[in-house]
Amino acid sequence: MLNEQRLVELFCRLVRIDSPSFGEREMCAALKEIVGSLGLAAVEDGAAKALSGSAGNLLVKIPGTLDLPPLLLCAHMDTVEPAKGKRPVLHPDRRITSAGDTVLGADDCAGLTAILEAATALLEDGSPHRPLELLFTAAEEPYCAGSAVLDHSAVESKEAFVFDLEGEVGLAANRAPTILSFTAEIEGRAAHAGFAPESGVHAVRIAAEVISKMRLGRSEDGRTTVNVGTVSGGTANNIVPDRCVFTGEIRSFSDEAAENELEQIRSLLARTASLFGGRAVLHSKKHVKAYCTRPDSPAVQHFFRAAAEAGLSPRLTETFGGSDMNQLAQRGISGLVVATAMRNVHSVSENTGIDALMAAARLALSLMLLKE
């Protein structure tokens, strides 16, 4: 049976661990110890080396007692900054906050706790269950760097539930966007701004022309966003700037639309630079690729059944953020990102509550106990 006191103690223990992205060693060691005490082995992959981080992704297998396809439950080990010296504070109204000077780290200690408490109860009760895989990823926050290099050959499941979504427990996202980032490097020609401005090529002017013509913000159909986040260039007030760099990102529920948007920026940049006599190059990186898990797919059916059995009101939504589910979907694994008892994430006012944590654990246990 799920045990509230054990769950709260586990959550607080995990929150107190410093686990910044690429520095998850201590968290990884704690998780190995916890699953070890359940008689399970955790296999750490080579992501630490691949990412120059301190921990790899952890995969834990729970052999099934029912002859059903395996199912994967996932949460990430890292937290965003400020995350050093996190102290959980339990309030009389059953909320849990940080001490106010760090994030709480419910993103994603709430996910880790829900899955681990559910696994503990499952094994303690000895209830029949399908084979299960628990995946605890490193470096999710920097665009899912850990799951991007996950050794997928070790993963057997074709269905996954990623415990990493803000919102009331019972909510799940079946759609997430492609996220691309870009860097535009513009090269002009320096000249004295007073003596010979005519002989210069103004790199900042080129950037300004390009940015003013870009379709920033949300597209008309609401499915794509474009942002320029930083601009830098120039060295002194009396010099025509010979260099300007601007960076930004594109998000879209359509991978094709994101690629199209990028190509439009690329050609606008090239055209404008050559019009002014400069040169420009656009670098880009696709961090995660869009996916959509169909509402009639087995994963969604499983989620609705498990959530209802856990006494929750299941419903689907979309998220405009990436998660490990994007990477799993790329490898042919169908699934959802499920809401996991976290509020105001990525801020020092991040908080959760004991009831929401218990609800997330009930959901995890119900998924583990699915009979078909």
Residues making contact with Zn ion (CB under 5 A):
107-108, 164
- Decide whether 204 or 359 has the Cβ nearer to Zn ion: 359
| CA trace torsion 293, 299, 301, 307 (10° rounding) | -110
- Decide whether 64 or 142 has the Cβ nearer to Zn ion: 142
> How near is the Cβ of 212 to Zn ion at its closest, in Å?
35
> How near is the Cβ of 107 to Zn ion at its closest, in Å?
4
> How near is the Cβ of 181 to Zn ion at its closest, in Å?
19
- Decide whether 325 or 359 has the Cβ nearer to Zn ion: 325
**C-alpha span between 253 and 259 (Å, rounded):** 11
- Decide whether 164 or 185 has the Cβ nearer to Zn ion: 164
- Decide whether 117 or 141 has the Cβ nearer to Zn ion: 141
> How near is the Cβ of 82 to Zn ion at its closest, in Å?
16
> How near is the Cβ of 164 to Zn ion at its closest, in Å?
4
Identity (one letter) of the amino acid at 173?
Answer: A
- Decide whether 162 or 312 has the Cβ nearer to Zn ion: 162
Structure tokens given for 15: 């929150």
> How near is the Cβ of 108 to Zn ion at its closest, in Å?
4
> How near is the Cβ of 140 to Zn ion at its closest, in Å?
6
> How near is the Cβ of 105 to Zn ion at its closest, in Å?
10
**C-alpha span between 233 and 218 (Å, rounded):** 27
- Decide whether 304 or 320 has the Cβ nearer to Zn ion: 320
- Decide whether 164 or 261 has the Cβ nearer to Zn ion: 164
For the chain, the three-class secondary structure string (H helix, E strand, C coil) is CCCHHHHHHHHHHHHCCCCECCCCHHHHHHHHHHHHHCCCCEEECCHHHHHCCCCCCEEEEECCCCCCCCEEEEEECCECCCCCCCCCEECCCCEEECCCCCCCCHHHHHHHHHHHHHHHHHHHHCCCCCCEEEEEECCCCCCCHHHHCCCHHHCCCCEEEEEEECCCECEEEEEECEEEEEEEEEECECEECCCCHHHCECHHHHHHHHHHHCCCEECCCCCEEEEEEEEEECCCCCEECCEEEEEEEEEECCHHHHHHHHHHHHHHHHHHHHHCCCEEEEEEEEEECCEECCCCCHHHHHHHHHHHHCCCCCEEEECCCCCHHHHHHHCCCEEEEEECCCECCCCCCCEEEHHHHHHHHHHHHHHHCCCC
- Decide whether 74 or 244 has the Cβ nearer to Zn ion: 74
> How near is the Cβ of 83 to Zn ion at its closest, in Å?
12
